[in-house]
Amino acid sequence: MHCPFCRHPDSRVIDSRTSDDGLSIRRRRQCPECGGRFTTTETASLNVIKRSGVMEPFSRDKVISGVRKACQGRPVTEGDLAVLAQKVEEAVRQTGVSQLDANEIGLAILGPLRDLDEVAYLRFASVYQAFDSLEDFESAISDLRADHVKAPQAE
Ligand SMILES: [Zn+2]
């Protein structure tokens, strides 16, 4: 990494810390040539291959805009959406892949969205999994019901 001040081709790391979400590392660096200090952020690259075949960097904003419509009229806040997008990113990064297709992002969204709001989840799943009959809705709903029985809400 070149020094941004004098372009010296080397720098010394004087401090490293992991971001709160654990997804990136910030390094404080010092140039041995001019003494200038600067910070770099390291994040493992993660790319999404869109249906069109175009590859673009994973973006939490895209996740949020993808689920926002399903959450319309539901008691879901911007903060909830930000947490959801973070969970999706963590889940995807945990798989250790550096690229994945848009479909897999959709799959990774289903779990956290289901925990967040079941109506939004059904809406999203119906589009994403292309529900084309009442039976598809019925089986998704009976899955949700079965989970309620297994994991009753704490009083
Ligand atoms: Zn320098």
Whether 6 maps to a domain, the answer reads: no
Asked whether residue 34 falls in the same domain as residue 62, the answer is no
Whether 2 maps to a domain, the answer reads: no
Domain that holds residue 83: 47-150
Dihedral angle, C-alpha 79, 80, 86, 88, nearest 10 °: -160
Low pLDDT (below 50) residues in the chain: none
Whether 77 maps to a domain, the answer reads: yes
Residues lining ion ligand 1 (Cβ < 5 A) are: 3, 5-6, 8, 31, 33-34, 36
Asked whether residue 63 falls in the same domain as residue 132, the answer is yes
Q: What is the pLDDT of residue 58?
A: 92
CB distance 42 to 25 below 8 Å: yes
Domain tally, the chain: 2
Hey, how many other C-beta atoms are within 10 angstroms of the C-beta on 106?
19
Q: What is the pLDDT of residue 129?
A: 82
Whether 155 maps to a domain, the answer reads: no
- How much distance in Å is there from the Cα of 16 to the middle of ligand 1? 19
Angle between helices 102-116 and 118-128 (to 10 degrees): 160
Distances (CA, A) of 94 to 12, 44, 50, 142, 153: 30, 11, 20, 29, 28
CB distance 49 to 101 below 8 Å: yes
pTM above 0.85, yes or no: no
